[in-house]
A and B are shown apart, each in its own frame.
Chain A
């Protein structure tokens, strides 16, 4: 399985500001995904981060709010823009190898 790290592990932010979350994988992977897990809830896919092209967003998520970069096959960033308290969640990056999918440790975001 791939080793996945995320930065920061947690942050407390003021509303109206933005936070960029980094995801690093120890091997080259084609598929990288970003998920959100609201408190006490399941995981919801935000977008698929495509290397060399724009990310593919799921219904309810837009690029202006969650811009994603994927400069190479081992790294991706997710920005949470113009934050509000409703954005308080755990954000997880994930990679797929064949069909198996593995998750990073997550970034716990609290917006005040």
Chain B
């Protein structure tokens, strides 16, 4: 099955700076890579995703890039704001070849945006 590794585990930036979180995956057949934001005491919220037929996707201050050759994908947050402070999780399908649509998650990155 798929294995996802995520780095860094914590990230502290100044307000207005950019933040980058990276994930690697093991299954070359994986075709869908979502990112979730989890605020303290809340459920994980899907913030952006990318499918394997594109290399980059943007949504306002958030972007995700995908390098299929290297099997890694990254979350980029520009012009960070204090409300971006949360734990971010990357994920990938547990088993594309077996049609399993459940997700396996990275270990999470705690982002702190200092005002």
Contacts and interface: CB of A to CB of B under 8 A. Distances in A.
A100 B103 contact: no
Interface stretch (A18-26, A41-49, A67-75): A41-49
A45 B46 contact: no
Interface stretch (B12-20, B59-67, B78-86, B94-102): B94-102
A44 B32 CA distance: 18
Interface size class of A (residues with CB under 8 A): 10 to 19
A1 B100 CA distance: 20
Contacts, number: 48
Interface string A38-66: 00011111001000000000000000000
A104 B43 CA distance: 7
Interface residues of B, number: 21
Contacts of A100: 34, 46, 49
Contacts of B107: 41-42
Contact of A99 (B32, B94, B104, B108): B32
Interface of B: 32, 34, 42-46, 49, 51, 89, 93-94, 100-108
